[in-house]
Every structure is written in C-alpha cells, then in structure tokens.
Amino acid sequence: MDLAYLRAHPEHLPTFLTHQRIRETPVTGGSICTASRLTLDDGNSVFAKSWPERAGRPVPDGFFTTEAAGLRWLGAAASAGGAPVPEVVVALPGLLALEWIEPGEPDPVAAERFGRALAHTHRAGAEHFGAYWPGFIGGLPQDNTVVTGQPWSAWFAQRRLAPYLRMSADDGALSAAEVALVEQVIDTIDGYGGEEPPARIHGDLWPGNLLWAADGRCRLVDPAAHGGHRETDLAQLALFGGAPYLDRILAAYQEEWPLADGWAARLPVHQLHLLLVHTALFGATYRSAVAGAARRALAG
C-alpha cells in the first residue's frame, strides 16, 4: 500500500493494519487516542489515530469524522494565508489518518508567522456560532448546535460553560463555592464582549495542539473546530504553561488583525471553558485553576 493507493482506497486501511501489511511505530503524547506512525510501501508515512481499547467503551459516533471535518474546515482558510493543518488522508468511524508532518522546534520567526496565520484563519469567519457537525472536545461531547440570532455571550454560557460545570459538579470535581463562582460568571456573561461576528476557531488550542514543524510552519491539530469568538483560541494558547514565544504570536496577530479593547481582561472568561472540560475529564486536579480563572474574570 502506497500513499496514492491509500488516498484512493481509504476504506482498506483497517484491513492492511489487521494483517500487518504496514509498519506501525507508536507515537506518544496523546491523552485520549492511541497514535502511531504508519510507514507505507513507497516510504511515505501517515499519522494514525484510533480509539483505545482501554477506554472501556466504543468510539463515540462521529468522533473521527468530526475531527476530519474540523481539520478540512480550518484548512480551507490556509489557501488565503491561514494556519496550515495536516491533510486528512483517511477518515473512518474508528480510525483517522493524517499527513505525516516532520516535527521541528519553535523559534521566534515561526511564532510570528503562526500569529499572522492564525489571524487569517479567524478572519475567514463562520456563518454562525457552532458548527454543522457534532462536537467533541477531548473525549467529551460538545454541543455545536447552530442557533441564529443569539449573541455570542449567551451561546458561550449555554454551550461551553454550563454543560461542563454540571459534569464537574456532579462528579465532585468542584465544590459548591467553586460552582458558585462560575455561576456568577455565567450570570454576568453579557458584560464580557461578543459583538464580533463568528470567527473560524480551532476551539481546543492549548499549546499541545500546536505542531511545530521542521519546515518552520506551525500546524493546527486535534481541533474542536466551530464558529466562535477569536479570543477563545488566544486565551487557550496561554494555558498550561503557554505556547512557546506567546508574546511574539500575540504581537504578530495584533499587527495582522487588532483585537478589541479590553481583550486581555476577558481571557479568563474564555479559559474557563477548557478548564471546566479538564475538571469534567480529570477531576479535582484542576479545581484551583477553575476557581482562579473565575475570580480573575469577575475582577475584570
């Protein structure tokens, strides 16, 4: 099986893997899926993801096809200067295979290039908040329901904050005091801006979902793509230690498409989404981070 054959017959990949006709090398780093590098007969490689048997449940319907749809949608902006994504080679219910990108090291030049490209991706826009495909973030479902005529603030509160707050509270990952803090943010969400039209966002843009490549271009990977607020992506880049050269990324972004006044003070509101996803997925380990972001948001 070579790359041309795989592109023409993606449905055959599971059969070749079952019969060990492809060299498979494990790839580390993912917390949800099992990942590997597949080396094909012509020497080309692809990056493959599958649902792990250890998960104890079947792959959710649409999990990999949703990721593929998000990558293609983000990638459509690349021709107009947007951030590149790996090519989707195979998108099956239980398996996703992407173009293999040779990894590299971030540097200031690549960071500035990425900041400008991300601004172009966001500016490509979306018809509505949400998306026309099911949503997932990590291994959790995410409500991508498209609603017309609803401001960003209400949409974000109802579909990005409240569901994961409920999950986290129900599982005991957050105390009553922390739940009350987040509820205050939700109750005052109208004050956090949202008058911009929907942007084309990655939606899960913590630093681990940046693939710094050997060619000097940073790829977007593992998206939870949808129409949202562009400040959400920028806020997530600052989480969990922050993206390399984040100051250069933000400065280049601002040169390309300046952000609205007060954007820096609003970042904790946007960060709450991904932090609540983490308490829903991983429990009380992220409890203090949720409380801190809520307090910073309320302090304005």
92 and 173 housed in the same domain: no
Shared domain for 242 and 191, answered yes or no, is yes
Whether 151 and 168 have beta carbons less than 8 Å apart is answered as no
Quick one: what percent of the chain has pLDDT higher than 70?
A: 98
Question: Does the pLDDT value for residue 55 go beyond 70?
Answer: no
Do 206 and 141 lie in a common domain? yes
Are 113 and 62 part of one and the same domain? no
Same domain, 135 and 254: yes
Higher pLDDT, 291 or 194: 291
Q: In angstroms, how far apart are the furthest CA atoms of the chain? A: 59
Q: Which whole number is the average pLDDT over 236-264?
A: 97
* Residues 18 and 57 reside in one and the same domain: yes
Both 92 and 113 in one domain: the answer is no
Domain identity same for 283 and 139 = yes
Which of 77, 99, 121 is the endpoint of a domain?
A: 99
pLDDT digits (tens, 9 = 90+) for 66-121: 999 999 999 999 989 999 999 999 999 999 999 999 999 999 999 999 999 999 99
Domain CATH for 93: 3.30.200.20
pLDDT > 80? residue 135: yes
Give the residue from 99, 118, 140 where a domain finishes.
99
- Region 164-180 average pLDDT: 97
- The answer to whether residue 21 scores a pLDDT higher than 80 is no
Per-residue pLDDT band for 185 (boundaries 50, 70, 90) equals: very high
Q: Please write down the HEC assignment for all residues of 191-236.
A: HHCCCCCCEEECCCCCHHHEEEECCCCEEECCCCCEEECHHHHHHH
44: left (phi over 0), alpha (psi -120 to 50) or beta: beta
Q: pLDDT higher for 198 or 54? A: 198
User: Which residues, in sequence order, are CB contacts of 280 under 8 Å at separation 6+?
Assistant: 140, 164, 167, 168, 171, 173
Mean pLDDT (the chain, rounded): 94
Top pLDDT among 297 and 17 is at: 297
What pLDDT shows up at residue 53? 73
Q: What is the mean pLDDT of residues 122-147?
A: 94
Contact between 207 and 240 under an 8 Å Cβ cutoff? The reply is yes
Question: Which pLDDT belongs to residue 281?
Answer: 94
Q: Is the same domain home to 77 and 144?
A: no
Is residue 54 over pLDDT 70? Answer: no
List, in order, residues 6 or more apart from 191 with CB less than 8 Å away.
Answer: none
The yes-or-no verdict on residue 20 having pLDDT over 80 is: no
Section 22-49 average pLDDT: 89
Last residue of a domain, one of 69, 99, 129: 99
Looking at the whole model, is its pTM more than 0.85? yes
Residues 135 and 215 occupy one common structural domain: yes
CATH number, position 264: 3.90.1200.10
- Give the pLDDT band of residue 61 (cuts 50, 70, 90): very high
Count of structural domains within the chain: 2
- Give the residue with greater pLDDT, 82 vs 34: 82
Read off the pLDDT of each residue in 139-147 and give the average, rounded to a whole number.
Answer: 93
**What residue numbers bound the domain in which 80 lies?**
3-99
Q: Are residues 88 and 121 in the same domain?
A: no
Q: Does 95 share its domain with 156?
A: no
